[in-house]
Amino acid sequence: MQFSASQIAQLINGSIEGNAEVTVSSFGKIEEAQTGQLAFLANPKYEEFLYTTKASVIIINQALILKRALTATIIRVPDAYTAFATLLDMYQQMQVQQLSGIQEPSYIHSSVSLAEDVFIGAFAYLSEEVKIGKGTKIYPGVFIGKSVQIGQNSIIHPGVKIYHNSIVGSNVIIHAGTVIGSDGFGFAPQHDGTYKKVPQIGNVVIEDYVEIGANTTIDRATIGSTFIRSGVKLDNLVQIAHNVEIGNNTVIAAQAGISGSTKVGKNVMIGGQAGIAGHLQIADGTKINGQSGVVKTITKPNTSLTGYPANEFRAFLRSQAVVKNLPELEKRLIELETIVKKLQKDT
């Protein structure tokens, strides 16, 4: 399928410089793109490729000042990265919309409720009293437990497991291998040294416009719900424990873990391999660097944390400066001790 520069500009509200009728049929990275491809430039580190790329159409930021003329047609927008993401999303939606119907073999219980335009892939298993909203796509090999509800236009990728009573909103994307609603890690220590399992009778609630990466796990609550609020983005291999609440538009990178009953605020950013202890409160807008370990409640919004145990970023940098100077400080301390001993001996 081909699109002209003028058609693309209309989709992203951009202004054209160059041949508005030139067409493209695919996407390419600006450093590798060929004739007939669409590229974009958002990171200044790649600006040099703007003048050597073979791309036919390039999306750039409105404020970018060109150093010399280009052979490609350019489309100026306020934010090239967002505009390009919008186009990719439209392209992906076109691909997804082609999926329809129910593939065989698959198991769909007689009590399941399917709305219009739902796709069910082969070897999917839909248990009793499941409800699937309009336009939702269930890819092959998905298991959906009893009384699960999934909203409209959501995408459940291959191999996802959604345990009983979980609720998934609309426009949610769950990637392959993710497990929603498995038991929380609850065991009561016994006098004989063994552990008694605490039944996990709650559920998981995932609100609208959430995206969950591959092989992520979200545990059901012991009692009540584990909440993933609207707009949250979880990377691959993230662990969310029982009764956790992740606030609106929070993003969590790969291999991070949130322990039980912790409440993470809105617009929080958590780096890869970070860990947060249980029963804490993390204030709105907090930024946690990768591999940091948070062991106490954060009450001040928009705090930046790093290290283990995690500390305010500037305080951490000051302490690191001190650590860097420790060898010199040790040397000076030894010299002072030598002088003191000599003075004591002389007296």
Q: Which two tokens stand for residue 126?
A: 């839909």
3-state secondary structure at position 44: helix
Asked if 109 is an active-site residue, the reply is no
- Is residue 267 within 8 Å of 288, Cβ to Cβ? no
Nearest by Cα to 126 from 157, 141, 33? 141
- Is residue 287 within 8 Å of 269, Cβ to Cβ? yes
- Please state, in angstroms and rounded to a whole number, the distance separating the CA atoms of residues 326 and 164: 56
- Please state, in angstroms and rounded to a whole number, the distance separating the CA atoms of residues 269 and 251: 5
Helix then strand then coil, in percent of the chain rounded to 5, is: 20, 30, 50
Cα 306–311–307 angle (5° rounding)? Answer: 35
Give 84's contacts (C-beta < 8 A, 6+ positions apart).
40, 42, 59
Q: Which two tokens stand for residue 160?
A: 């996802």
Q: Which of 157, 175, 242, 279 is catalytic?
A: 242
- Is residue 167 within 8 Å of 207, Cβ to Cβ? no
Cα 269–173–28 angle (5° rounding)? Answer: 85
Residue 38 CA from chain centroid, whole number: 26
- Is residue 131 within 8 Å of 150, Cβ to Cβ? yes
Q: What is the DSSP string of 296-327?
A: S-B-STT-EEETTTTEEHHHHHHHHHHHHTHH
Nearest by Cα to 211 from 237, 173, 177? 173
Residues annotated catalytic, as ranges:
242
